[in-house]
Amino acid sequence: MGARVVFHIDFDYFFAQCEELRNPDLKSKPVCVCVYSDRGGDSGAIATANYIARKFGVKSGIPISFAKKRLEDRKDAVFLPVDFDYYLEISENAMSVIKESADIFEYVGKDEAYLDVSNRVEGDFNKASHLAQQIKNAVRDKVKLSCSIGVSTNKLIAKIASDFKKPDGLTVVSPEKIEEFLGQLKIRAIPGIGKKTEDRFTQMNFEIIDDLKKLDVFTLNKEFGRKHGTYIFNAARGIDTEPVKERDPSVQYSKITTLKKDSKDFDFLAENINQLCVELHEVVKKNNRMFKSIGIQFIQSDLTNKTKSRMLKNPTANLEELQKNANQLLKEALEDQKNTIRRLGVKVSELSELRGQSDITSYF
């Protein structure tokens, strides 16, 4: 067999594109999908903006009031509340189309997935290019969505490539083109490199990925810590050995809530966590499941995401165990928390059938 071939598929401006599907008149207008807070008015932040709105400097995470200011000359600008149930339905339809073309399918989130197609295309990047185009056509025909696809030898480069020609892009980076492709990109193109790391490299007069090759792994480890330093060293060279892992959206149960106020106060957040655990436990009980992994999720005031999880020694379906671990994760996550939290979630995964209980109800 030839080279390993990995696709990263990313639905373009997903929430806003879903709204355009529902109302095609929106396609010619600046569209902003908003996470409104419970405080009324324009309190909240932008979740996604379409490309017309982006031309005016509107992007994910900025306050709704800033976005309205930037679009004040566009009287046709539209601001809509998020509708997660609707977006999930569209996502599931699109994912079922995509999955048909994969040897291995890894669900990442509502708007992205990885595919390993090495066997299907026999390691041939020309065949891979044709298959990627077929997927784009099928998603457009059946679900009416546009997506961008990156094709390369691993997840890292495929992800960078999918972002290269947005929207509606297809970028194929075959093995012999990796060095050339990566070299001239801005350092920020590497997933996981944020503004802080980018600013540090700017101070060192490093702007593009090629510049990073001047640094040895020891210097990077000293500057950014061993884990992050080694990652940057490998990423600059296009090295990534992480496999595409079979993962469906249905391998976990979760509950999420928008808080009455943005906060990082433990007592306030713990009260919400405990209530979410009660609701999540009902779902677990109804589906006759046990779980071995517990996680919490923050959507912060700037709409960035933060997650923390832990694996238990043994599977359980016990509410107190769920609450105890969720509270411990919350405590740990808040240790270095700078931003306030807008939405809070709890999830359980590593699910298994509840079995071997003579009286199932006594277990809960």
| pLDDT of amino acid 364 | 31
Give residues with Cβ within 8 angstroms of 204, minimum separation 6: none
- 112-116: strand order across its sheet: 104-109, 112-116, 6-11, 147-152, 170-172
- For residues 272 and 358, membership in a common domain is answered with yes
- For residues 326 and 257, membership in a common domain is answered with yes
CB-CB contact of 137 with 129 (8 Å): no
Domain count, the chain: 3
| pLDDT of amino acid 310 | 87
Q: Is residue 130 part of a domain?
A: no
- For residues 217 and 309, membership in a common domain is answered with no
Total Cβ atoms within 10 A of residue 103: 14
Q: Is residue 225 part of a domain?
A: yes
| pLDDT of amino acid 359 | 30
DSSP state at residue 243: P
Q: Where are the beta strands (DSSP E) in the chain?
A: 6-11, 31-36, 44-49, 78-81, 104-109, 112-116, 147-152, 170-172, 252-263, 289-300, 305-316, 341-349, 352-353
Q: Is residue 58 part of a domain?
A: yes
Q: What is the CATH number of the domain that holds 56?
A: 3.40.1170.60
- For residues 218 and 307, membership in a common domain is answered with no
- For residues 358 and 285, membership in a common domain is answered with yes
- For residues 231 and 326, membership in a common domain is answered with no
Q: Is 76 annotated as a binding residue?
A: no
Pick the last residue of a domain from 171, 204, 236: 236
Q: Is 12 annotated as a binding residue?
A: no
| Residue 76 structure tokens | 């046709």
CB-CB contact of 339 with 264 (8 Å): yes
Q: What is the CATH number of the domain that holds 223?
A: 1.10.150.20
Q: Is residue 56 part of a domain?
A: yes
Q: Is residue 2 part of a domain?
A: no
Q: What is the pTM (predicted TM-score) of this model?
A: 0.71
Give residues with Cβ within 8 angstroms of 53, minimum separation 6: 16, 30, 31, 32, 67, 71, 77
What does each of the 364 residues of the chain score in pLDDT, given as a tens digit? 568 999 999 999 999 999 999 999 999 999 999 988 766 677 788 999 999 999 999 998 899 999 999 999 999 999 999 887 788 889 989 999 999 999 999 988 889 999 999 999 999 999 999 999 999 999 999 999 999 999 999 999 999 999 999 999 999 999 999 999 999 999 999 998 888 899 999 999 999 999 999 999 999 999 889 999 999 999 999 999 999 998 766 567 889 888 889 999 999 999 999 999 999 999 888 888 889 889 999 888 887 778 888 888 788 999 999 999 999 999 998 987 888 999 999 999 878 777 544 233 323 3
Q: Is residue 66 part of a domain?
A: yes
- For residues 261 and 359, membership in a common domain is answered with yes
- For residues 259 and 330, membership in a common domain is answered with yes
Pick the last residue of a domain from 59, 85, 111: 85
Write out pLDDT tens, residues 98-122.
999 999 999 888 899 999 999 999 9
Q: Is residue 27 part of a domain?
A: yes
Q: Is 112 a catalytic residue?
A: yes
Cα–Cα nearest to 32, from 96, 76, 73, 2: 76
Range of the domain at 54: 15-85
- For residues 230 and 269, membership in a common domain is answered with no
Q: What is the CATH number of the domain that holds 311?
A: 3.30.1490.100
- CA of residue 88 relative to chain centroid, distance: 14
Pick the last residue of a domain from 85, 103, 130: 85
| Residue 175 structure tokens | 């093995």
Tell me the residue type at 49: A
| pLDDT of amino acid 249 | 60
Catalytic choice (112, 122, 179, 180): 112
Q: Is residue 288 part of a domain?
A: yes
Give residues with Cβ within 8 angstroms of 76, minimum separation 6: 28, 29, 30
Residue 13: left (phi > 0), alpha (psi -120 to 50), or beta? left
Task: Say if strands 341-349 and 289-300 run parallel, antiparallel, or are unpaired.
Answer: antiparallel
